[in-house]
Amino acid sequence: MAVLNCHLCGLTAEPPVMAEGHAFCCHGCRELWRLLGEERIAELRTGPGLNWAALRAAPAEPVLEAGAGETATATLALDGLWCSSCAVLVEQVLRRTPGVLGGHVDYTASRAEVVFDAERTSAPDLQAVVQRLGYGARPDQGAAGDADLLRRFSRSLVVGLLVMMLSVPVWSGLLPTLDPPLRDALAYGLWLLTTPVVFWGGWPFLRGAWVSLRHGVPTMDLLVAVGTLAAYAYSAIAVLTGGRYLYFDIAGMLVSFLLLGRAIDSAARARAASVSRLLLELAAKEAVVIRAGGELAVPADQVLAGEAVVLRPGQKAPVDGEVLSGRSAVDEASLTGEGLPVDKVPGDLVYAGTLNQNGRLVLRALRVGGDTVLSQTARAVAAAQASKGAWQQLADRVVRVFVPVILLISVATWAGGHWLFHLGMAPALLRAIAALVIACPCALSVATPLAVAAAAQRAGRMGVLLRRGDAVERAAGVDTVLLDKTGTVTTGVATLAEWLPADDGLLALAAAVELGSEHPLGQAVVRAAEGRRLRVVPAEDFMALPGTGVSGRVQGRAVSVGVLPPSIEAPAALAAPAAEWEQEGRTVLWLLVDGAVAAALAVSDRPRPDAATAIADLRRAGVEVAMLTGDAAGTARAVASLIGIERVLARQSPLDKAAEVARLQAAGRRVAFVGDGINDAPALVQADLGIAMAQGSDIAVEAGQLTLARPALRSVPQVLGLARQTVAVIRGNLLWALLYNVIAVPAAILGYAQPLFSAGAMVVSSAFVLGNSLRLVGGSARRSVAAGLWVAGAAAVLVALAWWSL
Amino acid sequence: MTATRQRLGLILSLLLYAAAVSAPLRSAGALADRSGCVEAHAVVIQLLMLAGVVGGLAVGAPAISGVQRALQAMMPGADAAQRAGYLRGLAWALILLSAATNALWVAPALNMALDAQRALLVEADVLLYAMGVLAGIGWHALLDRDGWLGLLLMPAMALMILSSGVIGRGWC
């Protein structure tokens, strides 16, 4: 059977939603295509795929003049968004709704934010507009969405457990032997308890099934709803007609398990969305621009490229710009992770989201609005979050084929049983329902999310945060790890290693001039002096010479610390050790007193204590390791040799690093890049797996799929090992789920799926997936088996005590 | 709760359970059921439930810690107070459910049917004990170190039901 691609978004259309000879992956794409028209869509095809950004920017027909009434904002939590088209469709329709002034739909977070004229429309009206499109919409209450699913799950589980426990007479076939009043009480009691589970707990599936039916797209919700309702309806009829078998317990547990899968999925999406929100909070909302000779405060997104922007102390930069005038220290921690502010002088670049500290700057806006590095990163993160792991995609595709197949099998079982094998209507129907119920893919639906959730928990204990759903799957295939040097392999904190002559007085002199410096090397000198409790007198006439060093007057003497001026030659007694220090990867500072070389100081950035072990672990796991750095070759090689890295690429620009990653990928390698600074962001994005140090720049953190919350490189080999284990567990889960169906469905068709068998099969199947996934958290299959045996043993003791009353 | 106290709690729970399902108490209950009396069997049921509550209190700390970890993973957008509120709601649901189950078994007809089918009787005993365990965990979630108060509150709740609803069919 040919696999069709969606005419609009290009995703695989399985099964296709057809319209006027075109195939679409979902009704969202179909409706959007109808809404915009072929011509407009063609315009937006500026490259492979569809330019979603341009599409979203496409102006909707104006329906109201802004400011006609009092404006209000509504935030709606959406359900049933299938792909990006669905989000665009909802957004376009909302924006065309009378009374709406503007709106945005976040596909990742499944949330719509709408600004509207409160006199013309209302939040419930907008909710209804979305619902008419076939999507769920309710007022968004932040975490309440997850809480709602969890509430449904936990209450359904509690009641479902009770129903299961009360169903023992049904399973054991003793129901018909009970006295009629007792039998009725039990049967009606089970009915009563199951009703809220199916209709209240299972409401998300019932609603999804209704949408699925309306748009002719069979989804998992449809199978769940049909299975659950069939079991419920059959059991209800059996109660009324005195039937032997009741499936109330199956219906209840089915809903509970599927709610668990959905709640886990929802939690993962909420986690990802919160990271994106955090990034956007960095952006300044307002800017002060110079227009017509005066300063004017405007919204940040209204600044034009080339305009002069005033940045006062304490303000965040609203744009990426070049300093035209003024000097100030700017806190770039959000971009670079560097805790110390950076001096900015005319000609320097200032990035949006960074914090101006003490001086007034005037910037020329270079990149504004959505073009700033900050916005680009936020977009990249949002796009990345919308992605699904390959295994989850596979599970989704299997389900999309599986659902109609099972529905067909069920109908065929009923028809074949009744007409071909001359079974009565009731037995044939029972078999058809049993096939539906038993095939409901509880295990299939939770196989991947449960394993990923368990892996996320285990990774959390290792100090690793999973930023994307597919991070685990990406990590599993990695065979090459590239590491940045400063701040990644090394601590990123400079320390004064030694100085010659080793005279405290000379160190105090150097510290006196470095007191005014904010450079990490200068800070290292000051810290060393403080550590030795030296009396440091602040220098007079302090001057910082960028790229050279600092100078000042200390007790009447001219003192400078920094690189050696070309006109001055180092004395032989100092030149030799200084050369050695450079070979060892240290940075050499020269102390000049009254114009003469007085001392040489070696500043080093030490490798992390666990770096060598981490590299050795990676090697043992068969992973190739290399270091990429912007530093000089000598320094880089020295650090690499200390920790056992043989391949080193020095003097690498950010783009060089990304190019090296791409080169390795082209050679068939699966590359992970570990970095911490904004200069690592391109490589982090290019790599198959980006691993960012949490104390590094926010941009780097955003660019990576994994974040090392603790500065411990040993987490890298650990998490790669965990990822391999997780993918093995996911494979095992999926294989089990498929195997279960291969055995259970024929059993149901042949009439062997009695309630006890169905309940047992479902419990065993789900317990297998649960236990297999929990191996990732617990670490050993033996422990899981031991726990299971312990519980089974305790239950056996209870049963034995009750059976043979002492 | 220390490991020793946990072990002691579980042993006590098992002893209470063994007493509740022992032959003398069971025959006394069955005899009362046949006479249409409620209270004798109700006391046995209460004992089973209390045995479970003791067991639930013993395993309460690790169970609650597991639930809290699961909630943290499942509710990433919620703060600690919201998660605690959710846990409290769940605990109340477990306690009320257990109390409801407790009340269910005081019907003489039901008990007589159970007396006649050993398999069902055993299942009912285990079920009652399990509901007690859940209630014990619920009390621990609500009252932490004072969870033992549940041991007093649950019989009090049951006695209220017995004394008001089924007073006509008491001890006979």
Of A150, A155, A185, the CB nearest to B74: A150
Highest mean pLDDT among A99-108, A126-135, A696-705: A126-135
Catalytic (active-site) positions of A: 484
Residue A50 pLDDT class (50, 70, 90 cuts): very low
- The residues, any chain, with a CB within 8 Å of residue A561's CB and separated by 6 or more, are A510, A513, A514, A522, A525, A549, A550, A551, A589, A590, A591, A592, A601
Cβ of A162 and B109 within 8 Å? Answer: no
Cβ of A182 and B109 within 8 Å? Answer: yes
Rounded percentage of chain A residues whose pLDDT exceeds 90? 9
Q: Is B81 on the interface with A (CB under 8 A)?
A: no
Chain B residues near residue A267 by CB distance under 8 angstroms: 73-76
Residues across chain B: 172
Look at residue A64 and tell me whether its pLDDT is greater than 80: no
Segment B46-61 mean pLDDT: 89
The vertex-B101 CA angle with B99 and B102, nearest 5°, equals: 60
Chain A residues near residue B81 by CB distance under 8 angstroms: none
Distance to chain B for A238, nearest Cα, Å: 21
Of B101, B109, B122, the CB nearest to A803: B122
Q: Is B90 on the interface with A (CB under 8 A)?
A: yes
Residue A40 pLDDT class (50, 70, 90 cuts): low
Residue A68 pLDDT class (50, 70, 90 cuts): very low
- The more confidently predicted of residues B162 and A318 is A318
d(CA A53, CA A375): 13
Residue A90 pLDDT class (50, 70, 90 cuts): confident
In eight-state DSSP terms, residue A293 is T
Q: Which residue in B has a C-alpha nearest to residue A151's C-alpha?
A: B86
- Among B75, B95, B98, most A C-beta atoms within 10 A, so best to mutate, is B75
Residue A10 pLDDT class (50, 70, 90 cuts): low
Q: Among A244, A235, A156, A245, which residue's Cα sits nearest to residue A193?
A: A156
d(CA A85, CA A66): 27
Output the DSSP codes for A110-172.
Answer: TEEEEEEETTT--HHHHHHHHHHTT-EEEE--TTHHHHHHHHHHHHHHHHHHHHHHHTHHHHT
Q: Residue A321: what pLDDT?
A: 87
Q: Residue A63: what pLDDT?
A: 40
Question: What one-letter code names the amino acid at B119?
Answer: A
Chain A residues near residue B76 by CB distance under 8 angstroms: 143, 146, 267, 270-271, 274
Residues β-bridged to residue A311: A361
CA dihedral A536, A538, A544, A545 (to 10 degrees): -60
Q: Are B107 and B115 in contact (CB under 8 A)?
A: no
The helix (run of H) or strand (run of E) holding residue B80 is: helix B80-104
Rounded percentage of chain A residues whose pLDDT exceeds 70? 74
- The residues, any chain, with a CB within 8 Å of residue A607's CB and separated by 6 or more, are A489, A490, A491, A639, A642, A643
Look at residue B61 and tell me whether its pLDDT is greater than 80: yes
Per-residue pLDDT tens digits for A226-259: 878 888 888 898 888 877 778 888 888 878 877 8
For chain B, the C-alpha Rg in angstroms (whole number) is: 17
- The more confidently predicted of residues B135 and A64 is B135
- A264: phi then psi, degrees, rounded to nearest 5: -65, -45
- B38: phi then psi, degrees, rounded to nearest 5: -100, -45
The vertex-A116 CA angle with A112 and A121, nearest 5°, equals: 105
Residues β-bridged to residue A347: none
Which pTM value belongs to this model? 0.55
Look at residue A310 and tell me whether its pLDDT is greater than 50: yes
Per-residue pLDDT tens digits for A255-287: 887 787 777 766 666 655 555 555 566 667 788
Q: Is B28 on the interface with A (CB under 8 A)?
A: no
Q: Is B63 on the interface with A (CB under 8 A)?
A: no
Q: Are A174 and B117 in contact (CB under 8 A)?
A: yes
Q: Are A163 and A190 in contact (CB under 8 A)?
A: yes
Look at residue A480 and tell me whether its pLDDT is greater than 90: yes
- The more confidently predicted of residues A228 and B171 is A228
Q: Is B152 on the interface with A (CB under 8 A)?
A: no
Per-residue pLDDT tens digits for A663-715: 998 999 999 999 876 667 778 878 888 888 766 555 566 566 777 767 788 88
Per-residue pLDDT tens digits for A634-646: 778 888 888 889 9
Per-residue pLDDT tens digits for A419-457: 888 887 777 877 887 777 777 655 666 667 777 777 776
Per-residue pLDDT tens digits for A144-183: 456 677 788 888 888 887 888 778 777 777 777 777 887 8
The pairing of strands A480-484 and A624-628 is parallel
Per-residue pLDDT tens digits for B93-148: 888 878 777 766 666 777 777 777 787 788 888 888 988 898 999 999 998 878 88
Cβ of B18 and A806 within 8 Å? Answer: yes
Highest mean pLDDT among A230-234, A598-602, A705-709, B34-38: A598-602
Q: Is A169 on the interface with B (CB under 8 A)?
A: yes
Task: Tell me the C-alpha to C-alpha distance, in Å, between residue A386 and each of A107, A272, A379, A738, B67.
Answer: 7, 9, 11, 27, 29
CA atoms within 13 A on the CB side of A746: 5
Q: Which two tokens stand for residue A203?
A: 């409401």
Of A155, A177, A271, the CB nearest to B76: A271
Distance to chain B for A147, nearest Cα, Å: 7
Q: Among A45, A248, A191, A798, which residue's Cα sits nearest to residue B55?
A: A798
Distance to chain B for A87, nearest Cα, Å: 22
Which residue in the block uniquely carries the two structure tokens 């063994």?
B18
Of A168, A798, A805, the CB nearest to B120: A168
Look at residue A1 and tell me whether its pLDDT is greater than 70: no
The SS3 call for residue B172 is coil
Look at residue A744 and tell me whether its pLDDT is greater than 70: yes
Residue B162 pLDDT class (50, 70, 90 cuts): low
Output the DSSP codes for A573-592.
Answer: HHHHHHHHHHHTTPEEEEEE
Q: Is A177 on the interface with B (CB under 8 A)?
A: yes
Q: Find the DSSP H helices in A197-247.
A: 203-215, 220-241
The ipTM is 0.85
Look at residue A777 and tell me whether its pLDDT is greater than 50: yes
How far out from the chain centre does Cα A597 lie?
54
Segment A54-58 mean pLDDT: 47
Of B26, B75, B120, the CB nearest to A267: B75
Q: Is A269 on the interface with B (CB under 8 A)?
A: no
Look at residue A56 and tell me whether its pLDDT is greater than 50: no
Chain B residues near residue A451 by CB distance under 8 angstroms: none
The helix/strand count (H/E) of chain A reads as 28, 30
Q: Among A211, A216, A238, which residue's Cα sits nearest to residue A137?
A: A211
Residue A6 pLDDT class (50, 70, 90 cuts): confident
How far out from the chain centre does Cα A406 lie?
33
Distance to chain B for A78, nearest Cα, Å: 16
The SS3 call for residue A27 is helix
- The average confidence (pLDDT) of chain A is 77
Residue A58 pLDDT class (50, 70, 90 cuts): very low
Cβ of B14 and A797 within 8 Å? Answer: yes
Residue A220 pLDDT class (50, 70, 90 cuts): low
Q: Residue A398: what pLDDT?
A: 67
